[in-house]
């Protein structure tokens, strides 16, 4: 399934004319391996100038991923438990330690070129955090940063993890936002290598289930604003139904 997301058509203005075009799409449930191929192809097309920037929004089946230099001991589950729980394990080229992806978690893979004015890795990560802080605020949750740590937190519980790869200033990998995620899977790992803090989800915080496509719509909207992009998609039934239209700027 593929749904298109993004801003409504807007008249051109002096602030929009020079904005880069970024296509946002919700891909539904995608295997981790297929998600890697999707990113690799998009990165190469963007590098060659054959395609515009992309924001892939999707869910993965149950998987633990290890970033560069991750400690495999942070996967606490043994092989039998992993097999019985149908959890795959993948080593990746992103930064960060071990994390979990699964149904009910919104994963975002921005494939954008940071040249010429955003060639700053720390700024990029902070900007992704800002997108996520604004996104959960649309649904009534207040997120924050914690000095020295990456991601978005509510109190001392992480609601969104970030792990990125940047090659020749083109980005891949990205973020994982717990919407209605089964948090029990995090008990099988030391999330992001941090043992003294917890995890939470948007559904737990606001006390009700949330349509993940509405959250994807919100994330796409705030990505557009924070990264000053134009989303190259038309109005869809998903967008018509999304509550995020109430908070569009």
Check residue 8 and give its pLDDT.
Answer: 38
Check residue 18 and give its pLDDT.
Answer: 75
pLDDT digits (tens, 9 = 90+) for 186-231: 999 999 999 999 999 999 999 999 999 999 999 999 999 999 999 8
Q: Which of 143-147, 213-217, 245-249 has the lowest mean pLDDT?
A: 245-249
- The whole-chain average pLDDT of the chain stands at 89
Check residue 246 and give its pLDDT.
Answer: 35
| Domain range list for the chain | 3-247
Check residue 2 and give its pLDDT.
Answer: 67
Check residue 69 and give its pLDDT.
Answer: 84
CB atoms within 10 A of CB 86: 9
CATH topology of domain 3-247: BirA Bifunctional Protein; domain 2 (3.30.930)
Catalytic residues: 192
pLDDT digits (tens, 9 = 90+) for 87-119: 999 999 999 999 999 999 999 999 999 999 999
Answer whether residue 138 shows pLDDT above 70.
Answer: yes
R_g over Cα of the chain: 17
Check residue 206 and give its pLDDT.
Answer: 97
pLDDT band for 24, please (50, 70, 90 cuts). Answer: very high
Check residue 247 and give its pLDDT.
Answer: 34
Q: Is the dihedral angle over the CA atoms 177, 107, 192, 144 positive or is it negative? A: negative
| Residue with more model confidence, 239 or 65 | 65
pLDDT band for 249, please (50, 70, 90 cuts). Answer: very low
Mean pLDDT of 111-136: 97
Q: Which of 6-20, 99-113, 166-180 has the lowest mean pLDDT?
A: 6-20
pLDDT band for 19, please (50, 70, 90 cuts). Answer: confident
Mean pLDDT of 176-184: 98
Percent of the chain with pLDDT over 70: 86
Answer whether residue 7 shows pLDDT above 50.
Answer: no
Mean pLDDT of 138-159: 97
């Amino acid at each position: 399934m593929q749904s298109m997301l993004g801003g409504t058509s807007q008249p051109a203005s002096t602030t929009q004319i020079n904005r880069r075009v970024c296509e946002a799409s919700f891909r539904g449930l995608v295997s981790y391996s297929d998600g890697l191929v999707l990113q690799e192809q998009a990165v190469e097309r963007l590098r060659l100038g054959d395609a515009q920037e992309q924001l892939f929004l999707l869910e993965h089946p149950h998987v633990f991923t290890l970033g560069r230099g991750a400690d495999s001991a942070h996967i606490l589950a043994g092989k039998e438990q992993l097999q019985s729980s149908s959890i795959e394990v993948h080593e990746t080229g992103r930064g960060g330690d071990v994390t979990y992806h699964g149904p009910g978690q919104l994963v975002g893979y921005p494939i954008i070129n940071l040249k010429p004015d955003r060639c700053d890795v720390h700024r990029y990560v902070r900007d992704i955090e800002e997108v996520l802080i604004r996104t959960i605020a649309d649904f009534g949750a207040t997120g924050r940063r914690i000095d020295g740590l990456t991601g978005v937190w509510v109190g001392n519980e992480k609601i969104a993890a970030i792990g990125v790869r940047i090659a020749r200033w083109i980005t891949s990998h990205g973020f994982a936002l717990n919407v209605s995620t089964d948090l029990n899977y995090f008990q099988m790992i030391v999330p992001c290598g941090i043992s003294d803090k917890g995890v939470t989800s948007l559904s737990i915080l606001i006390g009700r289930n949330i349509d993940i496509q509405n959250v994807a719509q919100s994330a796409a909207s705030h990505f557009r604003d924070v990264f000053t992009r134009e989303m190259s998609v038309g109005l869809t039934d998903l967008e018509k139904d999304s509550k995020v239209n109430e908070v569009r700027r």
